Amino acid sequence: MADEPLIPRGAALGLIGCEACGLVVEQPPDAAPCPRCGHPLHARKPDSLTRSWAFLVAAFILYLPANLLPVLRSTKLFRSWSDTIMSGVVALWNDGAYDLAIVVFTASVVVPLLKMGALALLLVQVQRGSAQLPRERARLYRILEFIGHWSMLDVFAVALLIALVHFGSLANAEPGAGIVAFGAVVVLTMLATMSFDPRLIWDSTRIPDRRATDRLPT
Amino acid sequence: MDMKDGAPAPLRLRPELAICEHCDSVHQRGPLAPGEAADCRVCGATLYRRSRLDIDAMLALTVAALIVFVLANAAPIVTMQSAGVTTRGWLMTMVASAWSHGVGPVAAIAAGTVFLFPLAQLALYLFVLHAARLPARPKGFGAAMHGLRWLRPWSMVEVFLIGILVSIIKMSSLARVTAEAGLWGFGVLTILLTALSTFELRALWEIHDGR
């Protein structure tokens, strides 16, 4: 077990892997173009924490109107969306549709909040120089990357519903500002996730194993 | 193989190495069998992989996906029957209707992520895969590759597909809503785009290096 060789890190060896094409380059000057694909070479994404926080705070702020403003105004129909998301959930619950209430509550309220909370946790941990559970935090980041665009589901569904209702001139359904805010929350959370540099998780000097050495793997 | 300080030789390349994008660990590259992936031993992220499909198969898939894309957009997605009136909805007419009924920004996002970006993705795939068969890198290859990398997270056909299903279920209490050929088209398109995304695009950069 103890004989397992330490795996060095690019930063310690002056090696940078191009973000776009993956080519490994030795000690390039900062932001030099990659010789293969022309993308600027950076050891870490520039201003990653600032940019990520900026998008995340914007998403947090818009999360309020997304939940407080009406998503869909309609007469008698679509109780699960009419008025705000939360009042729709309450209406479903009072009607006895507990399962649907839980699904809508999870997809529209819990998941976006969890995503923003998880990213905030990753950012805070990096800024504190935490050495705790780096592998788990790395996995958390990959999950965030993967589920990012799925929160768009409700936004698409509401837009399609409004389109369909008007096609058939079936009823009066008008979108509320909440749905636009909700779409903005999803996009901003995706941008915040993309701006975060997961390599920062491992940059803490307090992470003891896999310490960088001056040897390359052979 | 050693890293003595010495004279800084600018931009020495180390194509035999792979650096993990997620944790900056340096690994030695090794050969992979088709369908295999190399995972980082430190953080578990995928370092690089080799698709089961070669370039010719990818080209065939791209052409197939383009044809399906045209069909999915040319055919109606749903038909609605209520009070004796039948209406059919195409992707673009639904986006236009959403646009004119007050969800402009959402309609714009849908038009981008379901129509424009996937179409651009397929066109760029066609170009870079064709370029990979040429002896030298053609003009615009780099820009096309960067474009593909940028577009990847913003193509949301699969999310849209589930969104249609949800809205059809919600509508079912109001009118008779039936799925049409366009919906199946988007289903097939989702499968083809997923298959295309298993391809390691970065491998295309290396093709002209060796020649």
Quick: pLDDT tens for B20-46.
Answer: 999 899 999 988 888 889 999 888 888
Instruction: Identify the pLDDT of residue B118.
Output: 95
Based on the fold, state whether residues B31 and B61 are members of the same structural domain.
no
Based on the fold, state whether residues B45 and B64 are members of the same structural domain.
no
Per-residue pLDDT band for A76 (boundaries 50, 70, 90) equals low
Structural domains counted in chain B: 2
Query: Considering only alpha carbons, which residue of chain B is nearest residue A33?
Result: B11
pLDDT digit string, tens, across residues A142-151 = 999 888 788 8
ipTM, 2 decimals? 0.84
What is the SS3 string spanning chain A? CCCCCCCCEHHHHCEEECCCCCCEEECCCCCCECCCCCCECCCCCCCHHHHHHHHHHHHHHHHHHHHHCCCEEECCCCCCCEECHHHHHHHHHHCCCHHHHHHHHHHHHHHHHHHHHHHHHHHHHHHCCCCCCHHHHHHHHHHHHHHHHHHHHHHHHHHHHHHHHHHCCCCCEEECHHHHHHHHHHHHHHHHHHHCCHHHHHCCCCCCCCCCCCCCCC
SS3 content of chain B, % helix, strand, coil (to 5): 50, 15, 35
Based on the fold, state whether residues B34 and B130 are members of the same structural domain.
no
Based on the fold, state whether residues B90 and B184 are members of the same structural domain.
yes
Based on the fold, state whether residues B40 and B64 are members of the same structural domain.
no
Chain B stretch 99-138, residues whose beta carbon is closer than 8 A to a beta carbon of chain A: 101-103, 105-107, 109-110, 113
Q: Å from A86 to nearest chain B CA? A: 18
Which residue range forms the structural domain that includes residue B76? 55-207
Based on the fold, state whether residues B150 and B116 are members of the same structural domain.
yes
Based on the fold, state whether residues B69 and B35 are members of the same structural domain.
no
If you average pLDDT over each of A79-88, B31-40, B113-122, which comes out highest? B113-122
pLDDT digit string, tens, across residues A167-215 = 766 666 777 788 889 889 999 999 999 999 999 998 876 565 554 444 4
Based on the fold, state whether residues B36 and B69 are members of the same structural domain.
no
The residue ranges of every structural domain in chain A are 1-43, 45-202
d(CA A102, CA A98) in angstroms, rounded, equals: 6
Based on the fold, state whether residues B125 and B32 are members of the same structural domain.
no
Query: Considering only alpha carbons, which residue of chain A is nearest residue B176?
Result: A168
% of chain A at pLDDT higher than 70:
84
Domain end residue (candidates: B32, B50, B68): B50
Based on the fold, state whether residues B96 and B184 are members of the same structural domain.
yes
Based on the fold, state whether residues B166 and B65 are members of the same structural domain.
yes
Query: Considering only alpha carbons, which residue of chain B is nearest residue A71?
Result: B103
